[in-house]
Amino acid sequence: MKVKLLTTISFFTYQLSTSQTEKLLHGKVISNNSPLNKVEVINKTAKTSTRTNELGEFSILAKAQDSLIFFSKNYFFKRLKLNEKDLQVNNLIVELNPTAEELDDVIITNIKAPKIINNAYNRDEIRKIKIRKQFDDVTSRVNVYDGKIDKAINYSHAIFDKPKEKIEEDDRFKKLVIAYCPHDFFVQNLNLKPEEKEIFLNFCDVDPQSKALLEHPNALAFMEFLNAKNEEFKKTKIKN
């Protein structure tokens, strides 16, 4: 009886240790049966990341219950929670769907052109327009001195008007965040409302650490920074 009990305990201990051990997981990312290159594959649980090669293949250390995130520009990101079967098969196939390209609104106005009636009245009007055009052409060639000096320096503007310095806004952080993190990340992961996205990015942009991230852009570093700032952002909303 004791031997059976020890055997059972040993078996479950082995299973538990096996399930908690990281394995090198292999997989492939595709879209419409075509491999995707340079897709960010992030193990959010272990805080590690890698990228797919030209064949869409990747390898990353993972274990059961780890959360993997796949995203690439112009594609909807995908989140996947691993189980024992995924690790045993060790041939993960992930398909990403392309995002729809947003186009500006086009307004079509129906303008009716006036009808031209070929009668004596219209012929008279056309003749008057031609005469007026000829008169304008002649008068435009006549130079009449009006007392002004052509191409003279305006000293009042030269002395008193100083050129205004153009201040360019540094929006590199916002552009990189939008490039690395799709819209679904802000809604699903950060639980932000669509109208809060711009306010949140401005909130993050004020932090000096946002400029430090620009020196070595990394998807995982951006996500960790946004997650940390999201906690501060929520506390700020509660106070307000």
Could you please report the per-residue DSSP string of 135-182? HHHHHHT-----SPPTT---HHHHHH-PPPPP-----HHHHHHHHHS-
Residue 65 lies in a domain: yes
Residue 217 lies in a domain: yes
Residue 137 lies in a domain: no
d(CA 21, CA 63): 6
Residue 185 amino acid letter: F
| CATH number of the domain that residue 51 is part of | 2.60.40.10
Going from the C-alpha of 200 to that of each of 15, 80, 148, 177, 205, the distances in angstroms are 44, 26, 56, 11, 9
Q: Which among 80, 95, 110 is the end of a domain?
A: 95
Q: What is the pLDDT of residue 163?
A: 55
Q: What is the pLDDT of residue 164?
A: 55
Residue 193 lies in a domain: yes
Residue 9 lies in a domain: no
Q: Enter the tokens of residue 230.
A: 């999201």
What's the average pLDDT block by block, 10 residues per block, for the chain (240 residues)?
50 49 92 93 91 95 92 87 90 90 57 54 69 64 53 51 58 81 80 87 88 80 86 78
Q: Which among 37, 66, 95 is the end of a domain?
A: 95
Residue 141 lies in a domain: no
Q: What is the pLDDT of residue 18?
A: 45
Q: How many domains does the chain have?
A: 2
Domain interval for residue 36: 18-95
Q: Which helix (H) or strand (E) holds 47?
A: none
Residue 6 lies in a domain: no
d(CA 112, CA 96): 47
Q: What is the pLDDT of residue 3?
A: 47
Reported pTM: 0.47
Residue 189 lies in a domain: yes
Q: Enter the tokens of residue 132.
A: 């007026």
d(CA 15, CA 23): 14
